[in-house]
Chains A and B, each alone.
Chain A
Amino acid sequence: MDSFKRAIKFQNMDLKTAIGWFWGIIIPIDLVSFLLIKYPTFVFGGINFGMHINDSNIDATAIAAANIIPILIYFISYTYSMYYEYFPVSLGFSMTRKDFYKTTILENIKVAFIFSIIQSILMKIDLYAIKSLGKSPIVDFKIINTETDNILFLIISLFIVIFSINSMINLLAVINYKLGFKFWIIVGIISSFSAIFIGSSVIFGSIYNLISWIITTKVGISQFVKLIVMAGIMYMLAYIFFKDMVIKNKIV
């Protein structure tokens, strides 16, 4: 087996378990949320359980769409662990940085794809499940419409959005690993100075605008290409910081 294949095998080692744990928690939560909508309150042993705030005026609802926040958190921790845990092991066990980085990008693509497939299926199920409760499902999420868009479109759209946001997280993780705590000091200083002299935070403002653009623009061919180019630039920028990186002691 050549070094690149060994690198892929290593990166895949914990992947099934990590994805299994994540969805093993999220799907039951979605299921419980569904049951709580169906049975807002129930009596067991004389005690009244359930959601007591059941505003009947609010009709439109969605369950699976809320998964996007834990997905984002998963990608932040997954990408950070790539550099804080997997990178030192890889370099320490004779893998080159190049192989590590290439396999990291491949893994990011794979994980983003797996997540977008599962999330798309859940959002489609959500549509019918909520309808079955006699409520109106929320269908328009700007980048996708669960009612009018087919599942393939949902998968592609979610994939490119997750992948491009993850490319930003990857850049953040690489710079953070390289600079350690100094990174947060630099962020703090730039943010404070820009807030004082420009009146807005340059860093957080730009990130907010970029993410807003990614999550609100419907994915057509042009948007798909733009996001791929953006992700490519993010990965290239991160590689500039990464290419001669050394193993650090555990510094956040």
Chain B
Amino acid sequence: MLEIVNLDKSYDKLKVLTNINLRLEENKIYGLLGRNGAGKSTLLNIISNQIKADSGQLKLFGEDIYENSKAVENICLVREKGVPVDDDRIKKIFKIASILYKNWDEEYKDYLVKEFKIDVKKKYNKLSRGNVTLVGLIIGLASRASLTIFDEPSLGLDAAIRYKFYDILLEDIQENPRAVIISTHLIDEVANLFEEIIILQNEKVFIKDEVSNLLEKAYFLNGREENILPFINKKNIIHKEQFGSSVIIGLFDDLTSDKKKTLKDNNVEISSIPLQKLFVYLTDNQETEEVF
């Protein structure tokens, strides 16, 4: 559905994205992860026609994206900064969205307004940070755009509302399949939503893989160091913590069932690494080899 080939972007002399190659499929939820300044927002802005790439190709359903209404009308970007309006009432913002998004679902918008208890008569610039985020989320959901992008969709939202949004998003995507990209720092909260994750690191796509594939080879090994290290020789160690005579080792590599059995027999506890920690360890370790 979305194809990005050899994309580069820099701001003056600062390179932000280099040789980005990605292929995103229809009806999947992608997590876009990266440290601050990794270029996530830049990439999302390029995908949604907000800014122009320096070079490379971007196609949605085979159509070039930049300044092509046939492609752009299928994209909805919910920006972290909120909707670019100043003093309009929320009612008017929804009205504008209903005009400009071709698949806008007015009934669904009304349902979401009730669910999230938004007062549509209020002025946008008088809203709390959480409600600004909610207005964006409602637009993103009701736009029914084939590619919906949420950049930091949880800013200012309390835990209850965040989980409500995740539930509604999942429910809606089952009924109205489409591709969704979520860029967030609250990784563990949304880990269950993601089908694939894309990690940007050092201007490049560092990892693009299915969440299940990643978690399958991410292990914490907890035990005595001399009982662990001989069995994971040449394996990719991404984390190490010492606790007296014990050590916790984070491993990101294939581990055969024989190896697992041997480690267990040597009193080594094996557990999986949560996605957020895996992301932190991987992006901390600059030398980890590119997986994509």
Contacts and interface: CB of A to CB of B under 8 A. Distances in A.
Interface of A: 1-4, 6-7, 9-10, 13, 85, 88-99, 243-244, 246-247, 250
Nearest to B66: A96
B212 interface: no
B102 A95 contact: no
A193 to B, nearest CB: 27
Contact of A93 (B52, B69, B70, B100): B100
A95 B72 contact: yes
Interface of B: 48-52, 67-70, 72-73, 75-77, 79, 83-86, 95-97, 99-102, 145
29 contacts: A1-B102, A2-B69, A3-B72, A3-B102, A4-B69, A6-B102, A10-B96, A13-B99, A85-B86, A89-B83, A89-B84, A91-B49, A91-B50, A91-B84, A92-B50, A93-B100, A94-B100, A94-B145, A95-B69, A95-B72, A95-B100, A96-B49, A96-B68, A96-B69, A98-B69, A243-B67, A247-B50, A247-B84, A250-B86
Nearest to B76: A94
B123 to A, nearest CB: 14
Contacts of B70: 3
Of B48, B85, B96, B100, which is in contact with the most chain A CB atoms at under 10 Å from its CB? B100
The SS class assigned to the B binding surface is: loop
Contacts of A99: 69
Nearest to A8: B99
Contacts of A90: 100
A93 B97 contact: yes
A94 B72 contact: yes
B133 to A, nearest CB: 15
A93 B96 contact: yes
B100 A10 contact: yes
Contact of A6 (B48, B75, B86, B99): B99
Nearest to B67: A96
Contact of B96 (A1, A3, A13, A96): A13
A91 B76 CA distance: 11
Nearest to B68: A96
Contacts of B51: 246
A97 B79 CA distance: 18
Contacts of A95: 69, 72, 100
B99 A9 contact: yes
B130 to A, nearest CB: 20
B178 to A, nearest CB: 14
Nearest to A243: B67
A6 B85 CA distance: 19
A90 B100 CA distance: 8
A159 B223 CA distance: 85
A94 B48 contact: yes
Given A13-B95, A98-B69, A99-B69, A93 B101 contact: yes
Contacts of A9: 99
Contacts of A10: 96, 99-100
B96 A98 contact: no
Nearest to A3: B69
Contacts of A244: 52
B65 to A, nearest CB: 10
Contact of A94 (B49, B84, B85, B95): B49
A218 to B, nearest CB: 41
A13 B96 CA distance: 8
Contacts of B48: 94
Q: Which 9 A-B pairs have the closest CB atoms?
A: A88-B84, A3-B69, A93-B100, A92-B84, A96-B69, A10-B99, A3-B73, A96-B67, A9-B99
A3 B76 CA distance: 14
A90 B86 CA distance: 14
Nearest to B78: A92
A94 B77 contact: yes
Given A13-B95, A94-B49, A94-B100, A89 B85 contact: yes
